[in-house]
Amino acid sequence: MTQPALPGHPYFSYRDGALFVEEMRASELADAHGTPLFIYSKAAMLAALASYQRGFAGRHAQICYAMKANSSLAVLQVFARAGCGFDIVSGGELERVQAAGGNAGKVIFSGVGKTRAEMRQALAAGIGCFNVESEAELDVLAEVAAAMALRAPVSIRVNPNVDPKTHPYISTGLKDNKFGVAHEDALRIYQHAASLPSLRVIGIDCHIGSQITEATPYLDAMDRVLDLVTSIEAAGIDIEHIDFGGGLGIAYNGDTPPEAEVLWRELLAKLDARGFGHKKLMVEPGRSLVGNAGLCVSEVLYLKPGEQKSFCIIDAAMNDLPRPAMYQAFHAIVPLALASQAQDQRYDVVGPICESGDWIGRDRALSVAAGDRLAVLSAGAYCMSMSSNYNTRGRAAEVLVDGASARLVRQRETPADTFKNEILLP
């Protein structure tokens, strides 16, 4: 029987025709916990992190996992125990970091719409840095910190205006995006920040987008940011750290993003060449740490042959795997058990939700029957964290595999769970 390789997924493999996650048979986990089921490989997460760690060896650098990619507590524990800080975008994410035993001092708080309450919460927790995204936010933060008799550590997110060459919904560093302050306004805003006694300016940051698969946009953004550091420091404001954001892509469909280690070797060479090699570095990777560490197992409910198209209806849907519906994203779909005599047919793989947008894969060659199970790959990032209860579907269960052991880390949500906060009329 052929054992197709799963490129980009070294911790997933077929053994005698059965899909394994590390040393665990995926079908056994689905038998035990039902479907849809997210399965994560701890070794895959740590290997992705190790690539960054090798890239930064010998440097003063802090990796802050952008937890919006996957904020499940067990995932946070894996990264916290490996020494990561976290990039958060809400007070809710800060609570998750704390619940997972993460160090608030290694938390950076990004996002264009921080509320006063979130600022107070983060100041009280003693987070490492606020990545401020506008002048208005800077003033509010100064006010909130002053009222608490604290000094808020700040970095200002600058918009380097480079094209990350990715999907428009996930590019963030262009002029017409809502993120960061314009390059030409940055120096003035830094001077303003430095004049506010309840703020302590410590860094500068940028983030140009997500699923970036080449080095050039990073190199261009670095040049733009370093130009600013030069002018800000010339104005007498010390920049202790430079945060280059996240955004490194993963292989979804034959994409060939650079390894983190390789990308950073190139970026650090530029940093050194421009005389900034001594600065503390921060990065905020999300997808590249978890995306290809997870898959979602789903059962085929029905096959529906049609004249124009045939449909393979599975029990996972856009509420579990929202990326195809939102970004026309591609996720590879593979069987849990390889058929001995594969007779591929082409199907649109769709979920049970009442929307034509509820598709998971289009025009896929599959050899399947009702009752078979499929794995949707690259499902570790921006799937569970973006899931919803649409159609009153409970969120899926999650399992974390570590070698030959597996642990349920999220129970499947029941329908009653989904409406437990609602209040019936008298």
Give the C-alpha separation, 240 to 415, whole Å. Answer: 49
55 binds ligand LLP (CB under 6 A): no
66 binds ligand LLP (CB under 6 A): yes
Phi-psi region of 17 (alpha: psi -120 to 50; beta: other; left: phi over 0): left
> Following DSSP, what letter does each residue of 356-393 receive, concatenated?
TT-EEEEEEEE---TT-EEEE-S-SSSSGGG---GGGP
213 binds ligand LLP (CB under 6 A): no
Measured torsion, CA atoms of residues 232, 234, 240, 242, in degrees rounded to the nearest 10: 50
286 binds ligand LLP (CB under 6 A): yes
Span interacting with ligand LLP, options 32-40, 278-286, 298-306, 409-417, rule CB under 6 A: 278-286
| Residues 96-135, interacting with ligand LLP (CB under 6 A) | 110
Give the C-alpha separation, 82 to 99, whole Å. Answer: 16
314 binds ligand LLP (CB under 6 A): no
SS3 96: helix
Least distance CB 89 / ligand LLP (angstroms): 7
207 binds ligand LLP (CB under 6 A): yes
Amino acid at 407: R
Least distance CB 336 / ligand LLP (angstroms): 24
Token pair for 351: 């979920």
| Residues 231-250, interacting with ligand LLP (CB under 6 A) | 245-248
Among 358, 382, 397, 401, binds ligand LLP (CB under 6 A): 382
Span interacting with ligand LLP, options 283-291, 299-307, 345-353, 406-414, rule CB under 6 A: 283-291
319 binds ligand LLP (CB under 6 A): no
How far does CA 380 lie from the centroid of its chain?
Answer: 8
Q: Which residue's structure tokens are 């007498």?
A: 236
Among 323, 331, 373, 393, binds ligand LLP (CB under 6 A): 323
Among 285, 294, 335, 351, binds ligand LLP (CB under 6 A): 285
- Which residues 6+ apart lie within 8 Å of 115 measured at CB? 91
H-helix or E-strand containing 348? strand 345-350
- Catalytic residue annotation: 354
Q: Per the omega criterion (within 30 degrees of 0), is the bond before 36 cis?
A: yes
Chain residues binding ligand LLP by CB under 6 A are: 66, 69, 87, 110, 170, 172, 207, 210-211, 245-248, 284-288, 323, 327, 382
